[in-house]
Amino acid sequence: MGHSLTAGTPPDLNNVVALSRSVIPLAQISEIRLYLAEYTKRFAFDRDLPADLWPFALEAKGFGGTSVESVSGVFSTSDPGRDLEFSIRVSANEFRGKDDRVSQTVETLAAFVNGTVRGDRLRMIDDAAAIETASASAITFVLDESHISRLNECQAAAVVVNAKIAPLINESTPYSLIVVTDTQDAFQKLLPLFRNVRGRPERGISPRAQISSTARVGENCFVAPGVCIGDDVEIGANCDLYPGVVIGDGCRIGENTILHANAVAYHDVVIGNNVIIHSGAVIGADGFGYRFTNGKFEKIPQLGTVHIHDDVEIGACTTVDRGAVGPTVVGAGTKLDNLVMVAHNCEVGRHNVFASQVGIAGSSITGDYVRLGGQVGIRDHVRLNTGCTVGAKAGVMKDIPAGETWLGIPATHESEQKRLLVTMKRIPDFRDDLRTLEKQIAAMSTEIEQLKELLSKTENSIPRRAAG
């Protein structure tokens, strides 16, 4: 679909643009742009467009004065209509506080996630929700076969499924299906269209932040009121420091890193690029190191530091203690849930995932891609090798080989724990069998005593011959 242009006039994108076979208002394309980063569309024009008009800003009506960040265009000479191809880029910050809901057809949403439709293509969708709470105009999703039965009471207008699950759903269902390759990925792209997604705050340093004269803050950062930045700190570009954040002397923070309200980095901590640290987290507090001497505990100086590598996310109120000598390390891509404790001199590998309330004692090491369930406890100086998994509440007392799954207290290989579990489930039966055996043994013992008495009486009743 094209829009007629006049030489010297910017193209009017405030009406509609084409998305696959469907039509969407520009404001909604802009909302989508928040997640796709770039869109390319063609617009027919009547005359040559002067080059000095490019790039230019466009006003998107209905978006509170939002402007498109940049627009560039190139001529396509192969098209008889001399279409002009636009690349539209929109800043994520432009969409903070947008309350308007998207209302689109199933077909439009399917095109957005490269899916196919089974059922009514023109049904309108204005919300996304879980299966149990989805309304008659909402879209929901099913991740695996075990959840198909939950659709029996579902009121949703459309359901996102993958190609494996779609054939298992009755053709006569009242809802439409959007069939995709990756259900979770598709739904994650659709969900923000129906939510008020707040972008990052406006760039700038508050005059009410306390920043040392020797600290260096990179370009395009947000530093909120109440932030405290110590001496000799270096902070990279595009970082966000929310109210109450404290950065100790000598810290090094990379680019695109976010520290949420009241997060604290003690002195000389190193934090990489693209790191997210949530509220109340404390990085670099002293490790729990003491020695017992002369009848009391004496503190061991904790003179190491903490290195948080790139792309790490640290949950609220999680603590990573500094090393006693060298650094405590959290490897690239690792995700720590809320209330996790990483003790001094631990070395956490790359792309680990720790659920809430995991505790790792000092000098323990994990390889890459290690997964720990909630409330797992790891003793000191233990090594969890690459790719191993530990189930929730397990207590790990010794090294775990690569790729194995361990469960229980004390933790052992899952096969052994499963045998123990099966045995434990049979304990009531064993108890009943034991009681039956005890009763049988008691009855047998009574019979034996009775037989002894009878035998004794019989022997006494037999006349004995006199000797000689």
Domains along the chain with CATH numbers: 16-95 (no CATH), 104-194 (3.40.1390.10), 263-418 (2.160.10.10)
Average pLDDT over residues 262-286: 97
d(CA 155, CA 175): 8
Contact 362, 348 (CB under 8 A): no
Alpha carbon 400 to its chain centroid, in Å, reads 25
Residue 28 has a pLDDT of 37
Burial of 364 (0-12, 13-18, 19+ CB in 10 A): buried
Bridge partner residues of 116 (DSSP): 179
Contact 222, 199 (CB under 8 A): no
**Cα torsion angle, 147, 148, 154, 157, sign:** positive
pLDDT band at residue 464 under the 50/70/90 scheme: low
Burial of 426 (0-12, 13-18, 19+ CB in 10 A): exposed
351 belongs to the catalytic site = no
d(CA 358, CA 346): 13
Residue 458 has a pLDDT of 81
pLDDT in tens, 63-111: 223 333 333 333 333 333 333 333 333 333 333 233 455 678 899 899 8
CA distance from start to end of the chain: 136
pLDDT in tens, 294-328: 999 999 999 999 999 999 999 999 999 999 999 99
**Entry pTM:** 0.72
pLDDT in tens, 197-254: 777 888 999 999 999 999 999 999 999 999 999 999 999 999 999 999 999 999 999 9
d(CA 220, CA 237): 6
Written as one letter, the residue type at 423 is T
pLDDT in tens, 7-27: 233 333 333 232 222 333 333
d(CA 23, CA 165): 29
- Select which of 344, 351, 381, 413 is catalytic: 344
Average pLDDT over residues 393-419: 94
Average pLDDT, the chain: 80
**DSSP secondary structure of 268-309:** T-EE-TT-EE-TT-EESPPP--EEEETTEEEEPP----EEE-
pLDDT reading at 365 higher than 50: yes
Residue 382 half-sphere exposure, CB side, CA atoms within 13 Å?
17
Backbone angles phi, psi at 292, to 5 degrees: -90, 115
Burial of 90 (0-12, 13-18, 19+ CB in 10 A): buried
d(CA 121, CA 177): 9
